[in-house]
Structure 1
Amino acid sequence: MADPSTYRPRPGEIPTDPGVYRFRDKDGRVIYVGKAKSLRSRLSSYFQDVGALHPRTATMVRTGASVEWTVVTTEVEALQLEYSWIKEFDPRFNVKYRDDKSYPYLAVTMGEEFPRAQVMRGAKRKGTRYFGPYAHAWAIRETLDQALRVFPMRTCSAGVFKRASQVGRPCLLGYIDKCSAPCVGRVDAQTHRQIAEDFCDFMAGQSSRFVKDLERRMLAASDELDFEQAARLRDDIGALQRVLEKSAVVFHDATDADVFALADDELEVAVQVFHVRGGRIRGQRGWVAEKESESVPEVVGHLLQQLYGGGDGEDVPREVLVPVLPDDVDTLRQWLSGRRGSRVDLRVPQRGDKRTLMETVERNATQSLARHKVARAGDLTARSRALQELQEALELDESPLRIECYDISHVQGTQVVGSMVVFEDGLPRKGEYRRFIVRGDRDGAEDGTGDGAVPATIDDTAAMHEVLTRRFRRYLKDRDEPRGVDEETGRPTRFAYPPQLVVVDGGLPQVNAAARAIEDLGIVDVAVVGLAKRLEEVWLPGQDFPVVLPRTSEGLYLLQRLRDEAHRFAITFHRQRRSKAMTNSALDGIPGLGEAKRKALLKHFGSVKRIRAASAAELTEVRGIGTVLAETIERELSGASSEPAVNLMTGEIVEESAPATDEESHD
């Protein structure tokens, strides 16, 4: 690791203005992004006595090799730029104070002609109203099941809706009166939209209006001696009341707020947030994150930045209630107001119902942290111990913070593919996983894409040598780019950063092949090991005997996780390729011949055999096939193998013919 004094900027070079700074490692990779009111004061704090820093911060400055900064005008601009860079570079030393889950929402697609109520996750869509988030999707379905008695709106998919319209019969929900069946014309689009709008108003907190209306209609039906209708209305009222029971009434003034609470110790922080909409608790979320030496106000500031930084600002409520105010409260308040488009009140509740709710959320956070500690005691230190054990057992110069594992998958030497998985700090970094199509001695795209041509057979060692050669050849190419950044997109290149340790799935032959591939490229600072499945032995290149780690070793557990993840990733890709190969045609891969033109050729001639026998002039009779393309098809097919296609799973000969027409394939 680097000595921080080697890249420490002179104090006079650092401005006192607000700005955003980035630490980079020796490969130019961004490893930390931060903001500061005064860049000089903040950056100087990193280059004091390293022993006095938090262990994670000390590791960061030792891993870094350079630091750079960008001056901005205001603190709000610094906040926005910091979030943008964290999202773009995903620095490994920036702590994520939010969970990585996509929580479900109850969504109503008001942008459609016939709005649909459904469970949705992920990014918000324009023209859709969202209610939640909910902790579980089943909670949304229970709510919908009760509410559809009173608001019978559509919940089916577009395919089900279209099929019901074609056959003139509604689905089951239409028969049991839990859908107004607009698909068969029971109600028109305007009436159905009014039902959807009433449902949205009810979910938004205007519940008393609908309950009172149902009670009035029930009494009127009873007075008219229409007891069956009165009984149905009574059941509808009960259904709405059960929906309301699922959302506890907290405030009676239609409060729109998110209530946050934290429980922390030296290593971790538990976050709980209650989403209050229309005076009712509509959702609850909770997670546990690693914690640096930051104070609680700093954690709150980063939490709000990460939680509300994405999307289009629709999730920002009118009030954000927190246990303590962040240090830059005015900046955050201004930023949140800009995200929402109107004023946002960021404050600590002092008394009344909101303070009582805050105490409830705090109890949830405390219990969540206690449960997490019991369930995962020692987990944070386990990763550090695993890396330390690997460093000692393999005699590495430093802990392998970045480890890459490779595996080969095939069936008797056909459809050979390779996988590369990446672990950083003992955790998977799935955004940097890569897949390779192995082609033997054929040249191909080094990122694993291409025409799919493969040699008849290839052994594991040759495949491993090819995969490692292509990966590190690409590394050498990307390493020469400025800062490892693509000039066109401005984003980090895919293979610009080398690992400290390469793990291959296999024994000594695979290890030697991998080591030879790396040495042939002149790379000497990357260690290579292999993990054999039978006895879980760790093999080093050129060694007659393996390194045997104890069965209880955290280092061995980490290697096994890497190997299993690489195997899963490789076999998934291999199955996709194998499935695609079963239906591949000799027409695939012909330049300029897309799917539509392939179908047109098959429809015109009936089979690939007849297309192969046709002349270029006959091929031009097909619409969309010009003279140049016809000559290309004739040339490619004449050079293709005349052997029939074979199903790889059954061994049966497959005769390719024209696809069925719509009438023939109609069920």
Structure 2
Amino acid sequence: MPDPATYRPAPGSIPVEPGVYRFRDSHRRVIYVGKAKSLRSRLNSYFADLSGLAPRTRQMVTTAASVEWTVVTTEVEALQLEYNWIKEFDPRFNIRYRDDKSYPVLAVTLNEDYPRLKVYRGPRRKGVRYFGPYSHAWAIRETLDLLTRVFPARTCSNGVFKRHSQIGRPCLLGYIDKCSAPCVGRVSAEEHRQIVADFCDFLAGKTDRLIREMEQQMNVAAEDLDFERAARLRDNIGAMRRAMEKQAVVFGDGTDADVVAFADDELEAAVQVFHVRGGRVRGQRGWVIEKSGEPGESTLEYLVEQFLTQFYGDQAALGGAADEGGDETTNPVPKQVLVPVLPETAPELETWLCQLRGSRVSLRVAQRGDKRALAETVQRNAEQALNQHKLKRAGDFTARSAALQSIQEALGLEDAPLRIECVDISHVQGTDVVASLVVFEDGLPRKSDYRHYAIREAAGDGRSDDVASIAEVTRRRFHRHLRDTEQPGDFSAVSDVAAGAAPEGKPRRFAYPPNLFVVDGGAPQVNAAAAVLEDLGVTDVAVIGLAKRLEEVWVPSEPDPVIMPRNSDGLYLLQRVRDEAHRFAISYHRSKRSKRMTASALDSVRGLGEHRRKALVTHFGSLARLRQASVEEITAVPGIGVATAAAVLEALGVTPGESAQDSAAEQHAGQHIDEHTEQHAGAAPIDDDRHTVTG
């Protein structure tokens, strides 16, 4: 493995001008291409302390054997050169927005005597007109099946066309009137080309004119008592309108735009693009890519910049050989590109896009109106695509088995960790400190075994101590494990049954330990958890920590973390377990904080002590419901008299005797927030001696 110090350029030899750089390995293959406003500042960051680099970047600089650069004069030149080099060398460490195959388009071969409609992938050719791209080839075939009834153009291959010309008999499509059968002379070449021209006009958005002409022809046929032809035209008009309904109208001004949105996590990012031409959504496509891991190269601004350069560079290359006579809808670069954020190089990107298009291109963020609404729709699609990608990996038994085996090999475990438990701490500046414990079995969440913890020791002095909190949760969880192990047959205690103990004859849920115990944090947190297990004499549980920023796996008493491949199923599973523990901890923390704030609103009521405040909160469940209560309903709580109930309502800003409906209307906003918090909290009581069971 090369040492980066062996090929580091001499100090002061790297220019400060903007430029593009390439890292090469020992075989002179380009493994990474990047650009920078200042080459010296950017390249020096790669030769800093290796422990401070992201795992992927660390692997790149240790794989490389040399670095070289090219100075340019402007950022636009740097963008163009970076794209060209990425396309030429295909570096393994660069983010690539690509699929296993290109997206299909609908091609119309106007360069042939009898133009043909077909599904096509690949570079553009002169004399051929293209529509799309479409997400799937079946979407093109569905469109053709619907429109060839109205525009019976040829869809067969040249071989089929020649064979039926020789035998003098049309194919099946000719018999069912979905082809005008130019192969046998039913229409002339000029008539067939006119049919194809009308088809292209329809797809290009010139639909109103075609429908008006057909309606006029239908009326003329009806007046001439040619009802059969009128019925055919009526059906054709219906087919055209059904095809138009498949393309949603989003902009009334005939806007040509691409709307881009991203959804990402620490490891991956999903991008979705909606192509709007003539005010209608004409196509959609998406990718899921692996992020580089370097903080500066994992931001949304960087993802937007890389996507724009690669995507539109590829589109311009594909469209470079296309027929120059095409209309605006066939230009690979639209008039507007709507993105979620503008990168620092937005002016240079806009200039470069203008050069690709040959006219003005606007690069901006949608702020309001229809464009903002469509941007939010594309964002939801990106989030759904990322979720589907994760669920596909999580729901695949083979992927789960590979993930467990990957964890076993990376950590050197004797067996695969079939049961994984993860702990996370949640608080706000040391207040309302809580913890969560989530359980995954066979790579899937087991929500019936989830637990909440109210932290006692670390929160006593009002300050945050995540290490002490981790130690407390670990001690309480495995103390419960040891107690259940020592008393396997004692099911008489009602409290144990309430806490999750199984009926007689079944093992307790926590009577056996996990194979792997994960804490959210680095070396201090994992060492604290390991020390607790050692004190309790638990020796059959592996403990690790997962640091969030760099996704490093820390092992107790080890100075360096374990670096798992960023695209491994094992790291993905550990990340999913950690994120689930984080979500569960936050939901409980919000519930606890909401109840504390509810109780604090009653501190000013004279004669209402701590126990009565807790009784009120427990009885009504939320501050909003307490505001809606009448004096009689409040006095139903043990220990609350009429005077105290009136004082409670007065402290909450409600006049005693006011109708519940009026009070509810005035406090609608507060009720919505409290009820939303309560739904997520689960409203389960906390017992100091056992964990709360939630599902």
Give TM class, smaller chain.
0.5 to 0.7
Whether the aligned pair in 2 keeps the contact of 1:97 and 1:299 (CA below 8 Å) is: no
For residues 255-303 of structure 1, the C-alpha deviation after alignment (integer angstroms, 9 at most, x for no partner) is 2211110001111101111111221111111221101232101111101
Whether the aligned pair in 2 keeps the contact of 1:18 and 1:74 (CA below 8 Å) is: yes
CA displacement at 1:77 relative to structure 2: 2.0
Q: Please list, as runs of the form range in 1=range in 2, the aligned pairs for 1:195-594 lying within 5 A after superposition.
A: 195-292=195-292, 293=294, 294-310=298-314, 311=317, 312=319, 314-377=331-394, 386=406, 389=409
* 1:143 matched residue in structure 2: 143
Distance in 2 (CA, whole Å) between partners of 1:337 and 1:384 is: 50
For residues 110-145 of structure 1, the C-alpha deviation after alignment (integer angstroms, 9 at most, x for no partner) is 111211111111222221111111122111111111
* 2:29 matched residue in structure 1: 29
For residues 539-560 of structure 1, the C-alpha deviation after alignment (integer angstroms, 9 at most, x for no partner) is xxxxxxxxxxxxxx999xxxxx
CA displacement at 1:184 relative to structure 2: 1.9
For residues 223-282 of structure 1, the C-alpha deviation after alignment (integer angstroms, 9 at most, x for no partner) is 333222221111111111111121111122222211110001111101111111221111
Distance 1:78-1:249 versus aligned 2 partners, 3 A rule: same
Distance in 2 (CA, whole Å) between partners of 1:85 and 1:387 is: 36
Paired AA for residue 236 in structure 1: N
Q: TM-score, normalised on structure 1?
A: 0.56
Distance in 1 (CA, whole Å) between partners of 2:98 and 2:382 is: 14
Instruction: List alignment gaps of at least 5 residues for structure 1.
Output: 394-552, 556-667
Q: How many residues align?
A: 396
Paired AA for residue 387 in structure 2: A
Paired AA for residue 357 in structure 2: R
* 1:11 matched residue in structure 2: 11
Whether the aligned pair in 1 keeps the contact of 2:400 and 2:569 (CA below 8 Å) is: no
Distance in 1 (CA, whole Å) between partners of 2:11 and 2:110 is: 57
Distance in 2 (CA, whole Å) between partners of 1:74 and 1:380 is: 48
Instruction: List alignment gaps of at least 5 residues for structure 2.
Output: 321-330, 414-567, 571-695
* 2:630 matched residue in structure 1: none
Task: Look up the SS of the partner of 2:118 in the other structure.
Answer: strand
Task: Look up the SS of the partner of 1:358 in the other structure.
Answer: helix
Distance in 1 (CA, whole Å) between partners of 2:401 and 2:370 is: 41
Distance in 2 (CA, whole Å) between partners of 1:103 and 1:380 is: 30
Paired AA for residue 78 in structure 1: A
Whether the aligned pair in 2 keeps the contact of 1:20 and 1:35 (CA below 8 Å) is: yes
For residues 27-72 of structure 1, the C-alpha deviation after alignment (integer angstroms, 9 at most, x for no partner) is 3221111111221121112122222222111111122221111112
* 1:416 matched residue in structure 2: none
CA displacement at 1:76 relative to structure 2: 2.0
CA displacement at 1:176 relative to structure 2: 2.1
CA displacement at 1:383 relative to structure 2: 8.4
Whether the aligned pair in 2 keeps the contact of 1:11 and 1:44 (CA below 8 Å) is: no
Distance in 2 (CA, whole Å) between partners of 1:255 and 1:127 is: 26
Task: Look up the SS of the partner of 2:308 in the other structure.
Answer: helix
Distance in 1 (CA, whole Å) between partners of 2:115 and 2:153 is: 8
Whether the aligned pair in 1 keeps the contact of 2:174 and 2:180 (CA below 8 Å) is: yes
CA displacement at 1:202 relative to structure 2: 0.4
Distance in 2 (CA, whole Å) between partners of 1:139 and 1:360 is: 21
Distance in 2 (CA, whole Å) between partners of 1:211 and 1:179 is: 20
Task: Look up the SS of the partner of 1:339 in the other structure.
Answer: helix
Distance in 2 (CA, whole Å) between partners of 1:111 and 1:44 is: 54
Distance 1:382-1:266 versus aligned 2 partners, 3 A rule: farther
For residues 297-317 of structure 1, the C-alpha deviation after alignment (integer angstroms, 9 at most, x for no partner) is 111110111112122354222
- Check if 1:72 corresponds to 2:72: yes
Distance in 2 (CA, whole Å) between partners of 1:381 and 1:57 is: 28
Percent identical among aligned pairs is 67
* 1:173 matched residue in structure 2: 173
Whether the aligned pair in 1 keeps the contact of 2:300 and 2:341 (CA below 8 Å) is: yes
Distance 1:382-1:106 versus aligned 2 partners, 3 A rule: same
For residues 527-578 of structure 1, the C-alpha deviation after alignment (integer angstroms, 9 at most, x for no partner) is xxxxxxxxxxxxxxxxxxxxxxxxxx999xxxxxxxxxxxxxxxxxxxxxxx
CA displacement at 1:343 relative to structure 2: 1.8
Paired AA for residue 204 in structure 1: A
Task: Look up the SS of the partner of 1:12 in the other structure.
Answer: coil
CA displacement at 1:385 relative to structure 2: 7.9
Distance in 2 (CA, whole Å) between partners of 1:255 and 1:226 is: 41
CA displacement at 1:26 relative to structure 2: 2.5
Whether the aligned pair in 2 keeps the contact of 1:385 and 1:554 (CA below 8 Å) is: no
Distance in 2 (CA, whole Å) between partners of 1:275 and 1:381 is: 39
Distance in 1 (CA, whole Å) between partners of 2:569 and 2:378 is: 36
Paired AA for residue 92 in structure 1: R
Distance 1:390-1:282 versus aligned 2 partners, 3 A rule: same
Task: Look up the SS of the partner of 1:309 in the other structure.
Answer: helix
Paired AA for residue 297 in structure 1: E
CA displacement at 1:388 relative to structure 2: 9.8
Distance in 2 (CA, whole Å) between partners of 1:3 and 1:113 is: 63
Whether the aligned pair in 2 keeps the contact of 1:26 and 1:65 (CA below 8 Å) is: yes
Task: Look up the SS of the partner of 1:376 in the other structure.
Answer: helix
* 2:44 matched residue in structure 1: 44
Distance in 2 (CA, whole Å) between partners of 1:78 and 1:21 is: 10
CA displacement at 1:390 relative to structure 2: 8.9
Distance 1:275-1:390 versus aligned 2 partners, 3 A rule: same
Distance 1:41-1:55 versus aligned 2 partners, 3 A rule: same
Higher CA-based Rg: 2
Distance in 1 (CA, whole Å) between partners of 2:152 and 2:569 is: 56
For residues 202-241 of structure 1, the C-alpha deviation after alignment (integer angstroms, 9 at most, x for no partner) is 0011111111221222222223332222211111111111
* 1:561 matched residue in structure 2: none
Paired AA for residue 356 in structure 1: A
Task: Look up the SS of the partner of 1:160 in the other structure.
Answer: helix
Whether the aligned pair in 1 keeps the contact of 2:18 and 2:35 (CA below 8 Å) is: yes
Whether the aligned pair in 1 keeps the contact of 2:270 and 2:382 (CA below 8 Å) is: yes
Paired AA for residue 304 in structure 1: L
Distance 1:263-1:391 versus aligned 2 partners, 3 A rule: closer
For residues 337-381 of structure 1, the C-alpha deviation after alignment (integer angstroms, 9 at most, x for no partner) is 222222221111111111111100000111111121222249799
Whether the aligned pair in 1 keeps the contact of 2:202 and 2:210 (CA below 8 Å) is: yes
CA displacement at 1:98 relative to structure 2: 3.6
* 1:88 matched residue in structure 2: 88
Distance 1:390-1:126 versus aligned 2 partners, 3 A rule: farther
